[in-house]
Structure 1
């Protein structure tokens, strides 16, 4: 029996299938384009390779090709009798994620890695802030993610992927320098690891390195395929730094070519959340935003996320609907938000509505219920700064400038020195 590059036995006797699978694994873990094509080649070489079909399902899921993902998962389930115990549990984990059973999938992954810690494609499901731990909606999820990657790290040795995963966990718990050191080690081993480039950008953001961060990421993106899963989100980081530097032209170019609907090629959740965040942060910084942009985004959100349940997407959809003046769409979220942090999405939706009406006191009342637990809505610290700046702006509009400054100084000191907020110096 052959083994993958992480030493896991795989149920195929085809060397070609194994080689294509390993190439797909490297591309997928590195956030590079081509993983799905490599996994397809693996199952073409061996149509009975159950794990190859499961990998196709996972990669198709992450490129928003849900019909193919479900078909590949079904084929993996049909072939699972030919697989060993590790592969059966691996396939079960992916199937649970695809069927929307996030809590069960999370429990299954956590149990699986106890005996198979180097099963990277399964372990990946709980890594990153967009994984099953990151989107758990629980208090302490950042600490849990750190504990998770800390437990896996010793099993991987000098592995560029796990280094980058653990580095993000360090960064999101405030250990920026340790994160940066580990990220540089990861990039030295695989300079095209988009996850490491992404997380390095987070470390630079947390360190306030606007000029250096923008220069690094702009250069790194020059050779990154715009069909890759992280391309649009990395453009968001570049746009955010351009905004902080007052370079509106560069910011809008990034928005139009790589972030917003029509320009981005990434996952709908990234298109929605990144576009809503950069548009509103531009408004907070004092830049005019064409109302047509908000209406286009509101239409996109209504099309891609017609029902609530993905709380991180829902809060950004609510912002889009509020800014576009789409009251019925906003009311749907405010009244019926479900999901891992639905209890926070509802007051946030009402707050966005109050802000759109310039009812600052009403917005403050709603935000007070949310701000102690913003970690639960998901996303990184950089992404949740949207809420920190929104809260500070509401205080500013109420004439409470000192309180706005104090809030940033206590909660997000990296923003306090030169807050990207018009009227607050």
Structure 2
């Protein structure tokens, strides 16, 4: 048995396999696109290496594409065979149990629980920490991300390989739980320790986006440019954030240029690429530029082809958005029916998410695109807290808050739109899109002699903003 550089045991006697597994883990932490290449080297050197098969299985599942489920199943079977043939550590058995929970039962919560037990038992298990972080991100469990990193902090020292990436993981969790200053400090420290840490750098971009520091954010992302190509789809997601900064400043043409040449410069089969493109096109149109039928058609073709696939509810809503924007009525109806059936079955975690909030949100988006904004408001307004369960980041889910405000304005619910805008101002800096909303509100209310924005919005009427505002400084000093 060998050990990784953080003294985590690995059941193999092949040094080249252990080295390639470590390269895979570091690539995973850095969000580099070469994880599969390192795993291929690892398994060529030791075909039965259990941890490598587990990581390969999780990598396939996390791409949320039906055609990769068979790949995940193959790696799960190989991992089990490896355990049966050579035995394994409690950690390796836990990794297999976590993968099995997701692959065979669709139980993402149970998978995260298995990984969490591993990280509590071995805080230096970088692979399990990153996988748990990723799963909890997909589940919308920001406090779980934060707590896992806080609990792991005491096991790490600055000289350990991967320490900078750990700072980046914790930085992102802090940003998502309402501690932007601490998140920015840790994110900057993460990038200083590991300049290729796209996740840590991305956490700093999130802080700047929420604070309206758009020009500074563009400069910050410019400083990451040397590593974005290595990040593949995640590198394109960082450029999506650059487009958001341009939109904040009212630079809509610059955002569209990024969409065409950097963000959606290839077919969006990757689910993150799809979400980036669909949400960005909606935001661009919301700021006054028609993006044209062809751009929506390119996304709708993919969404229609994947309409019956049991994917992530978060991505399903972006499929609905693209199908509605492209005017694909039959494909949209087929998609909504597929979501209804999955929600009714409730057979896995994502089916349960659809039942709680995803299906009504999907119907709301379809209504908004189909000319019934009032119906969209009726469905979306009560869901504001629940939409966190869709997963993704606050910046990504902000699309749904914008959709709600837009639907309020389109349906003449001006007071509600004003209250939502005031709620928004309490948690984020307002930019060019919000300024346009405020002008619409003033235009609608001024002839009636009404106050443009209520002096004190009654959030009990509309529900609190979806960001998790729970205390978020837990464990920050431990990483200092």
TM-score > 0.5 by shorter chain: yes
**Equivalent residue, structure 1, for 2:477:** none
**Residues 141-191 of structure 1: CA distance to partner in whole angstroms, max 9, x if unpaired?**
333332222222222233112211111111011100000001111111101
**Residues 215-253 of structure 1: CA distance to partner in whole angstroms, max 9, x if unpaired?**
221331244325624122112111221222233333223
User: By how many angstroms is 1:322 displaced?
Assistant: 1.4
| The 10-residue stretch of structure 1 (53-62 or 210-219) with the greater mean CA deviation from structure 2 | 53-62
Pick the aligned partner of 2:83 from 69, 80, 91: 80
**Equivalent residue, structure 1, for 2:152:** 152
CA 1:113–1:229: 2 relative to 1, 3 Å: same
Trace 1:359-398 onto structure 2 (pairs within 5 A): 359-398=372-411
Distance in 1 separating the partners of 2:240 and 2:61? 22
| The 10-residue stretch of structure 1 (310-319 or 148-157) with the greater mean CA deviation from structure 2 | 148-157
Distance in 1 separating the partners of 2:401 and 2:429? 11
Matched, 1:280 2:292: no
**Equivalent residue, structure 2, for 1:197:** 201
User: By how many angstroms is 1:300 displaced?
Assistant: 0.8
| The 10-residue stretch of structure 1 (79-88 or 378-387) with the greater mean CA deviation from structure 2 | 79-88
Gaps of at least 5 residues in structure 2 are 344-350, 440-480
CA 1:164–1:305: 2 relative to 1, 3 Å: farther
Gaps of at least 5 residues in structure 1 are none
Distance in 1 separating the partners of 2:318 and 2:240? 15
The answer on whether the counterparts of 1:330 and 1:349 sit within 8 Å (CA) in structure 2 is no
User: By how many angstroms is 1:277 displaced?
Assistant: 0.6
Distance in 2 separating the partners of 1:226 and 1:14? 28
CA 1:91–1:176: 2 relative to 1, 3 Å: same
CA 1:298–1:311: 2 relative to 1, 3 Å: same
Between Structure 1 and Structure 2, whose CA radius of gyration is higher? 2
User: By how many angstroms is 1:309 displaced?
Assistant: 4.8
**Residues 84-140 of structure 1: CA distance to partner in whole angstroms, max 9, x if unpaired?**
22212223323433443323212222222232232222222221xxx3323336xxx
Distance in 2 separating the partners of 1:135 and 1:59? 13
The answer on whether the counterparts of 2:293 and 2:326 sit within 8 Å (CA) in structure 1 is yes
Matched, 1:262 2:275: no
Trace 1:252-401 onto structure 2 (pairs within 5 A): 252-260=256-264, 262=266, 268-335=270-337, 336=340, 338=343, 339-343=351-355, 344-401=357-414
**Equivalent residue, structure 1, for 2:3:** 3
CA 1:372–1:58: 2 relative to 1, 3 Å: closer
SS at match of 2:13: coil
Matched, 1:404 2:417: yes
Pick the aligned partner of 2:221 from 196, 217, 221: 217
The answer on whether the counterparts of 1:210 and 1:241 sit within 8 Å (CA) in structure 2 is yes
User: By how many angstroms is 1:270 displaced?
Assistant: 0.6
The answer on whether the counterparts of 1:322 and 1:353 sit within 8 Å (CA) in structure 2 is yes
**Equivalent residue, structure 2, for 1:33:** 33
CA 1:62–1:346: 2 relative to 1, 3 Å: closer
| The 10-residue stretch of structure 1 (71-80 or 332-341) with the greater mean CA deviation from structure 2 | 332-341
Matched, 1:108 2:114: yes
| The 10-residue stretch of structure 1 (352-361 or 274-283) with the greater mean CA deviation from structure 2 | 352-361
User: By how many angstroms is 1:359 displaced?
Assistant: 2.1
User: By how many angstroms is 1:62 displaced?
Assistant: 5.0
**Residues 7-26 of structure 1: CA distance to partner in whole angstroms, max 9, x if unpaired?**
10111122222222111111
User: By how many angstroms is 1:419 displaced?
Assistant: 4.7
SS at match of 1:132: helix
State the TM-score, normalizing by the size of structure 2: 0.80
Distance in 2 separating the partners of 1:332 and 1:321? 10
SS at match of 1:369: helix
CA 1:201–1:314: 2 relative to 1, 3 Å: same
**Equivalent residue, structure 1, for 2:101:** 96
Distance in 2 separating the partners of 1:364 and 1:175? 30
User: By how many angstroms is 1:4 displaced?
Assistant: 0.7
Distance in 2 separating the partners of 1:221 and 1:231? 9
Distance in 2 separating the partners of 1:416 and 1:181? 20
Distance in 2 separating the partners of 1:193 and 1:48? 30
User: By how many angstroms is 1:78 displaced?
Assistant: 0.8
CA 1:346–1:142: 2 relative to 1, 3 Å: same
Structural RMSD (CA): 2.4
CA 1:91–1:350: 2 relative to 1, 3 Å: closer
Distance in 2 separating the partners of 1:417 and 1:244? 8
State the TM-score, normalizing by the size of structure 1: 0.90
Distance in 1 separating the partners of 2:14 and 2:311? 41
The higher relative CO (CA closer than 8 Å, separation ≥ 6) is in 2
**Equivalent residue, structure 2, for 1:188:** 192
CA 1:372–1:103: 2 relative to 1, 3 Å: closer
Matched, 1:424 2:438: yes
Pick the aligned partner of 1:246 from 225, 250, 257: 250
